[in-house]
Structure 1
């Protein structure tokens, strides 16, 4: 049986909330219910929900993003938490083997290193 994966990329307070550091605001906010609905659907089907999410450390001299953008998605901050209903969904489902957050420090969601088995 083949599996599908839903990618929910960078849907955090800093990118979506009105008060986020790099917010797209309403265009991202109107997707909230559909994203959570799809996440529930994939979970019920036994498919994967993968959340590649920007993660930065304040004043990190080793990332280009710290020179291009204001501080955003800083570790252990409100801005790095998932936006709205997705945060609630994640807290409820984070222990599922089908749910995986991938911390990334680059713009691309596909530029990261896996140091241990993915699932």
Structure 2
């Protein structure tokens, strides 16, 4: 099964507070998978926020989570300024369990490169 989260800075997120947080998550995402995706969603700006030279970060890691092996994929990019004027970024993170990954032609990274995924 695959699960995903999207994280950025917002005035009011899923937990009802302001700031950088998860703004979208899959229904039924195991807590350990959620925590790992959230932990991997950070970004360090190399240039001032909003500068087009800031790189887009793509990642693919194989991790043991919730008693299973998961392919953790992500795309993290500069998102200019948030609602307070501070630097912001957008992280889209995806976790695909090994059983599902085996059925993807080209593997999990190829599945993530489908237009519109990241």
Normalising by the residue count of structure 2, what TM-score does the alignment of the two structures yield? 0.29
**Structure in which a larger fraction of residues adopt strand:** 2
Normalising by the residue count of structure 1, what TM-score does the alignment of the two structures yield? 0.29
**Structure in which a larger fraction of residues adopt helix:** 1
